[in-house]
Chain A
Amino acid sequence: MTRTRRRRLLLVTCLLVGLSGACALMLTAFKQDMLYFHEPSAIAAGNVPINTRFRVGGLVATGSVERPGNGLSVHFAISDCHATVPVRYRGTLPDLFREGQGVIAYGKLDGRGAFVADRILAKHDSTYMSPDTARALNAGTSDACMPANMQASR
């Protein structure tokens, strides 16, 4: 390798290292804003700005879904392993909504510890299998703990 080429290669390497460093610093600084949703335990720990609208995500707690009144209203709880947030919602639900399923609710805390949502999105996991396999594994009847892929690494 000639001297000019070595110098150019060094320059390109420096450029990449510098850029990666800058990006890493920026993404670390904006970490909170890069999160699409917060987990119930983060709300319990007081790490969420609760006076504004935000998203909470977790699993629909098993046995928590109730439909009071005329059918469009639904009450349920979103939980991760450590904390649970009761949610009130009125509107249509995505097809994948069910107990034990990952969901994301968009709305605001009502001041008495309940989350009033005006939008519910379903989150599906990264496991794909046939209904037969699922029956054999008894999948879909998961506990209230969050699977690893719903959590951001800390």
Chain B
Amino acid sequence: MHVRLGHDEKTVVSLTMDKGVKQRFHRLGSSPYFYDASARWAIWLAVPAVICIAYAVIAGLVYVPPDYQQGDVFRILYIHVPSAWLSLFGYTAMAVAGVVALVWRLKLAEIFIAAAAPVGASFTFLALVTGAIWGEPTWGTYWVWDARLTSELILLFLYLGVIALHRSIASPRAAGRACALLSIVGVINVPIIHYSVVWWTTLHQGATLGLTGGSNMDADMLWPLLAGALGFTCLFGWLTLWGMRVQLLWRERRSRWVMKRIAHG
């Protein structure tokens, strides 16, 4: 006898699969589930962050040869470059979350923006400060108003703007939407920062590494830098995840699940 899967059965199969994916997605939207699960995920970000950053710093300070022109001064690159990358990555991630928050009204996307902004601002600040420390002995100045430095400073102000906006609006939903909008508007600055050294003459040098082109860096010097970038990315994720848990607790401080978890430690 010839058995064929009926049209109805097929629909049922596809519906249950769809339901499985959807359920997982909806479960993520459940605050207590996210709060408990994120505590378990954090370790998978924390351990690689610590290992990679420790390797990058030790290798960068001890094992990497000095630069042919700049000598030992260039070693600050192992902090400066990853923090600058993450300052751009963080804002781009916030803008993506902003689109999700505005279009799909996902609460976690709003919380991500609020949690990522202080972390991104810290990385931007670190990039600016290490850049100034690097600039004095190499360029001969801590600061100039060239396109790269100025646009990176504007990025810091954008981050601070998101933080201030979030704190100035009492209603969490309204604050989340306003911050989502500012994140999307401000992302225009990210390509400007990246291409500033290409479009205009700047004191800052061009990019050393490209996604398509090869690198202008010795392999001995390159690996610790890539490890540093990976470590900083994990650190960004870890700190943001922890920030999200704090935001979630505060935002739903009057709900039963928060009370229960506070009562039980």
Contacting pair A5 B74 (CB below 8 A) = no
Closest to A92 in B: B140
Give bound CA distance, A56 to B68, whole Å.
26
Contacting pair A128 B144 (CB below 8 A) = no
In the complex, identify which listed stretch (B9-17, B85-93, B213-221, B226-234) lies at the interface while the others stay far away.
B213-221
Give bound CA distance, A29 to B55, whole Å.
46
What is the CB-to-nearest-CB distance from B244 to chain A, in angstroms, rounded to a whole number?
Answer: 22
Give bound CA distance, A129 to B140, whole Å.
21
B 128-148 to A, binary, CB cutoff 8 A, 1 in contact else 0: 000000000111110011110
Give bound CA distance, A120 to B208, whole Å.
24
Bin chain B's interface residue count.
35 or more
Please tell me if B1 contacts chain A, counting CB pairs below 8 Å.
no
List, in ascending order, chain A residues with CB within 8 A of B145's CB: 36
Please tell me if A16 contacts chain B, counting CB pairs below 8 Å.
yes
Give bound CA distance, A122 to B221, whole Å.
23
Contact status of A149 and B197, CB under 8 A, knowing A126-B208, A127-B208, A127-B217: yes
Chief secondary structure at chain A's binding surface:
mixed
Contact among B197, B201, B218 for A129, CB-based, below 8 A: B218
Please tell me if A20 contacts chain B, counting CB pairs below 8 Å.
yes
> Using a CB-CB cutoff of 8 Å, which residues 137-170 of chain B contact chain A?
137-141, 144-147
Give bound CA distance, A34 to B195, whole Å.
12
What is the CB-to-nearest-CB distance from B8 to chain A, in angstroms, rounded to a whole number?
Answer: 26
Contacting pair B139 A94 (CB below 8 A) = yes
> Using a CB-CB cutoff of 8 Å, which residues 62-77 of chain B contact chain A?
65-70, 74, 77
Contacting pair A34 B205 (CB below 8 A) = no
Q: How many residues of A contact B (CB 8 A)?
A: 46
Please tell me if A51 contacts chain B, counting CB pairs below 8 Å.
no
In the complex, identify which listed stretch (A7-15, A68-76, A82-90) lies at the interface while the others stay far away.
A7-15
Give bound CA distance, A12 to B217, whole Å.
40
Contact status of A23 and B201, CB under 8 A, knowing A122-B138, A130-B65: no
Residues of B within 8 A of A (CB): 65-70, 74, 77, 99, 102-104, 137-141, 144-147, 184-185, 187-188, 192, 197-203, 205-208, 216-218, 220-221
Q: Would you mind naming 9 contact pairs between A and B with Cβ atoms under 8 Å apart? A: A8-B103, A27-B192, A38-B201, A94-B139, A121-B139, A128-B77, A129-B217, A134-B68, A140-B69
Residues of A within 8 A of B (CB): 5, 8-9, 12, 15-16, 19-20, 23, 27, 31, 34-39, 57, 93-96, 104, 120-134, 139-140, 148-153
Of all A-B residue pairs in the complex, the 10 with the closest CB atoms, nearest first, are: A94-B140, A134-B68, A130-B65, A149-B206, A36-B146, A127-B216, A126-B205, A126-B208, A34-B200, A8-B103
